Structures are given as structure tokens and as C-alpha cells.
């Protein structure tokens, strides 16, 4: 803890002077809201009390949902963390911002090859950082409007300043803590790349948030809360594990995962209490989303790590368990709590927040929709909207060439979802989730087990969705 304290106060010294406070005028003069983004890491969309799971205990998230505009049929464009998180930073699809991978060339395995030095490892990871620096990131946009911003938790883009945060925990250097460091075959310790010291938030400490809130003063702020939870390792403290022990209805392989969900939920309660205790609740817009789905697989126990791996249908896959997420927006006094069943996407979050801050999202190259009129009750969600995404391997073979790595593209409109697999360099589609195109009625067949693609009566649906998918992004063009 002492090492962490020194690191954090070192970051405090680098914040510099506060930017000027800015007000905006629409029908009446209002101040831009503080923004708190709460991002769950590796969680199935249905594993909340408010989403109908009566086994998992999520009282704080349930309370947040009760006070929010709830989009219960949300999607993320990609079912793995880095591309999904960069969408939440930029409001762009991975093929737009270029961050469609977790690891840049030559890939995670070769990054750790024998003889690799820390300097070489760091340089190889750094080669992809220009992508976030050139993107329209939310922290940079808001900083121009007087916002302070804090990065905590999961974050793959090197130093927190690369994305425009004015303060943060991640510095692309080893943290010395239990998470985020990697030992090379040479014995040198490097930052893994997924957040280094930032991964302590929620698991080890919440102090950086207290310090930031105290320092922010009257400036509006953006707080990125993306803890390494309920992500593996599912090693929640006993108080959370005990919630599920000796309950016959909860399978053994699910208990560690559920305990980590409850641990995450408790930290969300702590975070919201920090905002409430400072009298900021009516000045703060909360957003909640999952970065990608995750389900424990009883058939995939990892002996070395002593934990269960995820199902093949969830994380990394083009299927519903990996892509679905509830999306919540809470702004007390501004948004009336309600539930919407229409399709939305996490790519909509940044344009919506930019609009809430008083800016016109149309001036930026976003890929999503501005949902603010819906949140304010001035418009209804699009009834027949299509949502899109693409799946890529974790390792990029090259930069600035998403078409060269894309493995699957998908589109959902109404009850139908089309998935198109892509082969690269003569190989079968990555991970072999599908070898041929598939059409599913995901309302009648949520398990995506009945492929309708070749049935004659569905050919018009196939043609319609295929056209929409190519209009969204055609990697051959």
C-alpha cells in the first residue's frame, strides 16, 4: 500500500492548474454535468438482479438501475475488452478508430519471446498508441470544455494522458501490485498492458477517487471507473463468497464468479456514496455498461489457475452471451427512470455524453447515435434500428488494417441476427465459431442453435441484413 500511495501522490503533482469552468445555455442556463462511467469487466448481461437473475446479489446496481433510464437490449460492437473500451472512449467502432485488438504486432506470445527486453516490449506496445492519440476521445473533448478527468481501472492505451485524461492511475510501467504486471523470460518485469496500477481500483483501494473528487473543486469532471471486476481471478473476499455457499441452486463453478460480481457491486455502492456525500448527486450523470460478456464453463476448469474459464459462446465470440449488455443512464432531476426494450449500442454512449455536456455530437466523427433526446423524454427510441459489430483475434497482424484481421461481422435488426465469418490468409475463420454464414432468430432462439441462413423463406431477411452490414462496413472496399 505504501508504494501505491507514493505513486498516486506523484500523479497528483502532475495535474497542474484547474481548467476554467464553462456553462452552457439551452432553454435555460444549466451547468454541464459531472460524468461517472461505470464499466463492468467480463460479466454476462443477465447476471444482475435488475435483469432478472434472482440468485446473484447486486443491490447497489439494482438501486442504480431503479433510478436510471434502462436500455435492456444493449450491445457492444466487440466481445473483448480493449476494442470495447476504446469504443467507450471514442464513440467509434473498432474499424474506425483502428483499435480492434488487445495486442499489437507481433502478438502477445512473441511480445514475451525469450531474449525480449523490457525496452523492446515497451516499444512494441507503444507502436499502437498513435491510434488513441488521433481519435476523438471523450476526455480530450471534455477537457476543452473545462472538465477534469480521472482514469482508473482497465485501460490499454499506455499512459493515461494518451487518451486525454488529466489524471490517472495507469502509466504503462510495472505497478508492483498483484495485478497488471508481467515477468518476461529474461526476468525483467513489465506492465502487461491492460492497466497496471489502475487495476488496483476496487480490488485494493478507492482512495484515488476520493483524492480526485477533493481536488476537482467546482470544475466539472469525468470519472472513468473500470475496475478489474468481476474479471478473473475470481478471488473475492470471504464476505462475498459466503453469500453463495450452501445454496444448492447455485452451481459450484458459478460461486467464485458470483462472489466477484457482488464484490464489484459493493464498490459501485461505495463510489455512488462518495458522490452523494459531497452533495453532487443532482449534478452528476452516471452511465453503466459491460465491456463484454462472460459465462463460467463447468467443463473448462483451468488447473494451473484453479478457476473456471469462460464458455466458448461468451467472451470473444460473435454470439449473444459475449455481446449483450444493459446500458443505464442516471441523472437525478433530469432523466425520468424508465425501461426501453429497443436496440442500442455502447457506441452511442460517447455521442450522448458529449451532447449532455452541451456540445453538438455531429461535429465529431462518431459511429453511434445521440440518445440524449430519448433520455430527456423528448423522443422515442428507434423502433427498427439495426446494431452492428465485428470480432477480431486478440493479436493484430498489422496496424491500420482492420480488414486484414476481421474474423466475423454481425448485424441485428428486430429479432434477426446475421453473422458473416471471414477467412484470412487461407485459414478458417478465427477460433472457428462459425465456418459459414448464419442467421438466427435471437428472440425465439437465444442460444443461436438453429441456423436459418439457407432456408428459402428467410432469403429476403438475409439479403436485407447483408446489405445493411455492407453499408455499415465492407472490408472488401
Q: What is the pLDDT of residue 298?
A: 93
pLDDT at 304: 83
How does 94-110 read in b/e, with b if 16+ C-beta sit within 10 Å?
A: bbbbbbbbbbbeebeee
What domains appear along the chain, each with residue ranges and CATH number?
A: 2-385 (3.40.720.10), 407-472 (3.30.1120)
Residues of the chain with pLDDT under 70: 1-29
Alpha carbons 272 and 280: distance in angstroms, whole number: 10
Phi, psi of 359 (to 5 degrees): -105, 165
Angle among Cα 148, 153, 159 to the nearest 5 degrees reads: 65
pLDDT score for 23: 35
User: For 342, how many CA atoms within 13 A lie in the half-sphere containing its CB?
Assistant: 14
Q: Which of 265, 355, 267, 347 is nearest to 35 (CA)?
A: 355
Distance of CA 433 to the CA centre of its chain: 22
User: What distance in Å separates the CA atoms of residue 347 and residue 367, rounded to the nearest whole number?
Assistant: 6
What is the rounded CA–CA span in Å between residue 477 and residue 474?
6
Name the DSSP class of 297: E
Question: Phi, psi at residue 160, to the nearest 5°?
Answer: -60, -30
18-38 confidence digits (pLDDT tens): 333 333 334 334 789 999 999
Contact 81, 102 (CB under 8 A): yes
pLDDT value, residue 4: 36
pLDDT of residue 3: 38
Q: How far apart are CA 26 and CA 252, in angstroms?
A: 54
Q: Do 91 and 350 form a contact (C-beta atoms < 8 A)?
A: yes
Residue 300, sorted as left (phi over 0), alpha (psi -120 to 50) or beta, turns out to be beta
What whole-number distance in Å separates Cα of residue 199 and Cα of residue 439?
Answer: 38
pLDDT of residue 26: 42
The residue among 287, 288, 283 whose CA lies nearest residue 34 is 283
* pLDDT of res. 306: 86
Residue 291 C-beta-side C-alpha neighbours within 13 Å: 29
Cell of 462: 438475409
User: Is there a contact between 58 and 326 (Cβ–Cβ < 8 Å)?
Assistant: no
Whole-model pTM: value is 0.93
Amino acid at each position: 500500500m505504501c508504494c501505491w500511495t507514493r505513486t498516486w501522490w506523484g500523479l497528483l503533482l502532475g495535474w497542474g492548474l484547474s481548467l476554467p469552468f464553462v456553462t452552457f445555455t439551452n432553454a435555460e442556463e444549466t451547468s454541464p454535468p459531472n460524468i461517472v462511467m461505470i464499466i463492468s469487466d467480463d460479466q454476462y448481461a443477465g447476471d444482475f438482479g435488475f435483469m432478472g437473475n434472482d440468485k446473484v446479489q447486486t443491490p447497489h446496481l439494482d438501486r442504480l438501475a431503479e433510478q436510471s433510464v434502462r436500455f435492456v437490449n444493449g450491445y457492444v460492437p466487440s466481445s473483448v475488452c480493449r476494442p470495447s473500451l476504446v469504443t467507450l472512449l471514442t464513440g467509434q467502432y473498432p474499424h474506425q478508430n483502428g483499435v480492434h485488438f488487445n495486442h499489437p504486432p507481433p502478438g502477445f506470445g512473441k511480445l514475451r519471446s525469450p531474449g525480449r527486453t523490457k525496452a523492446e516490449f515497451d516499444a512494441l506496445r507503444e507502436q499502437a498508441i498513435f491510434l488513441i492519440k488521433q481519435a476523438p476521445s471523450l476526455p480530450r473533448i471534455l477537457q476543452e470544455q473545462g472538465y477534469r478527468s480521472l482514469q482508473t481501472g482497465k485501460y490499454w492505451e499506455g499512459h493515461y494522458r494518451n487518451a486525454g485524461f488529466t489524471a490517472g492511475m495507469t502509466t504503462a510501467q510495472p505497478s508492483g501490485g498483484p495485478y497488471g504486471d508481467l515477468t518476461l523470460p529474461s526476468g525483467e518485469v513489465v506492465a502487461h498492458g491492460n492497466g497496471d496500477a489502475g487495476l488496483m481500483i476496487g480490488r485494493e483501494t478507492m482512495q484515488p477517487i476520493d483524492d480526485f473528487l477533493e481536488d476537482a473543486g467546482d470544475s466539472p469532471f469525468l470519472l472513468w471507473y473500470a475496475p478489474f471486476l468481476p474479471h478473473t481471478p475470481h478471488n473475492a473476499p470471504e464476505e462475498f463468497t459466503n453469500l453463495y455457499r450452501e445454496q444448492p441452486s447455485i452451481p459450484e463453478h458459478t460461486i467464485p464468479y458470483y462472489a466477484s460480481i457482488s464484490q464489484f457491486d459493493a464498490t459501485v455502492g461505495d463510489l455512488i456514496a462518495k458522490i452523494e456525500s459531497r452533495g453532487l448527486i443532482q449534478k452528476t450523470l452516471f452511465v453503466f455498461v459491460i465491456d463484454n460478456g462472460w459465462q463460467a464453463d463447468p467443463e473448462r476448469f483451468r488447473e494451473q489457475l484453479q478457476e473456471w474459464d469462460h464458455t466458448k459462446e461468451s467472451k470473444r465470440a460473435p454470439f449473444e452471451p459475449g455481446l449483450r449488455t444493459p446500458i443505464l443512464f442516471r441523472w437525478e432531476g433530469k432523466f425520468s427512470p424508465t425501461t426501453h426494450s429497443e436496440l442500442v449500442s455502447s457506441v452511442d454512449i460517447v455521442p450522448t455524453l458529449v451532447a449532455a455536456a452541451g456540445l453538438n455530437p455531429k461535429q465529431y466523427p462518431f459511429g453511434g447515435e445521440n440518445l440524449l433526446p430519448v433520455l430527456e423524454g423528448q423522443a422515442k427510441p428507434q423502433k427498427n434500428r439495426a446494431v452492428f459489430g465485428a470480432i477480431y483475434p486478440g493479436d493484430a497482424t498489422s496496424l491500420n488494417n482492420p480488414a486484414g484481421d476481421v474474423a466475423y461481422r454481425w448485424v441485428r435488426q428486430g429479432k434477426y441476427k446475421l453473422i458473416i465469418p471471414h477467412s484470412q490468409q487461407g485459414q478458417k475463420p478465427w477460433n472457428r465459431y462459425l465456418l459459414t454464414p448464419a442467421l438466427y432468430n435471437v428472440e425465439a432462439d437465444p442460444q443461436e442453435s438453429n441456423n436459418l441462413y439457407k432456408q428459402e423463406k428467410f432469403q429476403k431477411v438475409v439479403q436485407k441484413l447483408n446489405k445493411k452490414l455492407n453499408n455499415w462496413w465492407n472490408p472488401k472496399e
